[in-house]
Every structure is written in structure tokens, then in C-alpha cells.
Structure 1
Amino acid sequence: MPVYSTGNLEDTGASWLQIESEARFSGWSVPTASGIPGSRRRQFFTRQRRAREEKTVARDFTDLMNQLKDKKIEQFEVTPEDFPAFQKAFMAYETRKRVVGKAEKNGKLIYHYDYDAGNDGE
């Protein structure tokens, strides 16, 4: 079985995933990450990390804020790991000025909905 050398990988200019896909389809032995030169190796691990992150179940913060607004829940917690995803949902939320957070220990945030903030919802 032929082996696809990492030297050829650098020469082709193709992405690692294209090379890997083509090589596996052709029945070639594909080098492991330890055989990938510097920048290509970083790209490989970055793609692997992103794929793992996409597979993890992300909390639907827009839904949680809607539940707060509809009085289905009284509060919810946001951990430091979840905060970037929460912030994206928070900034896009229509009545975000009524969603109020309180900082707790270890970076934990507890959010509730302020129904007395005014009549316009902002």
C-alpha cells in the first residue's frame, strides 16, 4: 500500500482535509498528526478542536431568556465557559436590557428578568 508523504503535502498547496480524503479514498496510508509539518499540524489540530466544539451540545440562551420573559423559569446560570455563546445570544435579544445578571463566585453569573424596568421593554 503506498504511503502519502508529508513532503508532497506541502508541495500541493491543498488543504490537509482534501489530501486526507483523497488518500483514504485511494486506499493510501495517511500520516498521523505527528507526521504533519508545523503550520499544517496546527491547522489539523484546530480543525479537530472545532469539530469537537460543534459536536458539544450548546445551550440555547435565547430560549432561556424567552422562558425568563414568559415567567416559565425564575433564573438561569451562565458559567465562564458558556459566556461567549451567551453574549452572542444576549446582544441579539430584543429586550436584553431587562435581562439582569448577578456575579457569583468563580465567574458564575445568575440571570433573571426585570419586569419592572419600564413599559417599552428596553
Structure 2
Amino acid sequence: MKKKLVGVENLDQYICQDTNTLYADGSIILTAGAKDALSKRGITVVYGPKPEGVACGQPAHAAAHAANAPVQDGGEASDASEEDERLILAVASVLKEKYGINDLNTLYTLSTKVVMTVKVNL
């Protein structure tokens, strides 16, 4: 299963508008900024799948954004452990802060490659 990096920029497409909840079913990695934004907005994060029967309607702008959003391709990290995910986020943070890389696809791809390179060479 490929994971998607969810940051402040693409957060709205993952929020269940009907329940004011984000279901983190293991297919996404939430950045620290996304977690802060969710907390500030009073949105509950449920770590697990969306329950059957829960409808998650989205506002028109969020649905349009979701349709045009790029899919994260991080095949090498598809089975990443929780520790790997934390390391990927840390590397992404450095790339964003120090090198000005803001594109989520690029951040995820580069971060995943760095983590895999480190793991292979240790």
C-alpha cells in the first residue's frame, strides 16, 4: 500500500466533513503542521478505518482540489514502519526548511530515498 504525505496544503481533502473527523487508516502520513492545523480547527483524528455507514461529504472546493491533487508515489516506503515514517517526516522537514522544497510529491520522494539509502548503508 502506497502512503500519501498529508500536509497543511492538502489536508482538506482527507477530512470527513460530515463528522469533522480525519480517519488515518494507515494509508497516510500526517506532517506535524497538519496535526497542528487539525488541532487548531478542532478536527478529531481517528487512527483506523472509517466506520461503515459514515458518509464523508466534502465541500465543492475540497472535492475539486482532491480530483486535481497528485498521488504520492513512495513505492519503496509502502511497508514503512512507524519509525521509518518519523524519519521520513524529519528528512522532509529539513528539505523544506533548509532547501526550500515545498512540493509534497518531491518532499516525499526525496525523503523516502534518503531513508532507504541510510537503511541500506547502515
Report the TM-score when normalising by structure 1.
0.22
Q: Normalised by the size of structure 2, how large is the TM-score?
A: 0.22
Which structure is higher in RCO with an 8 Å CA cutoff and minimum separation 6?
2
- Structure number with bigger Rg: 1
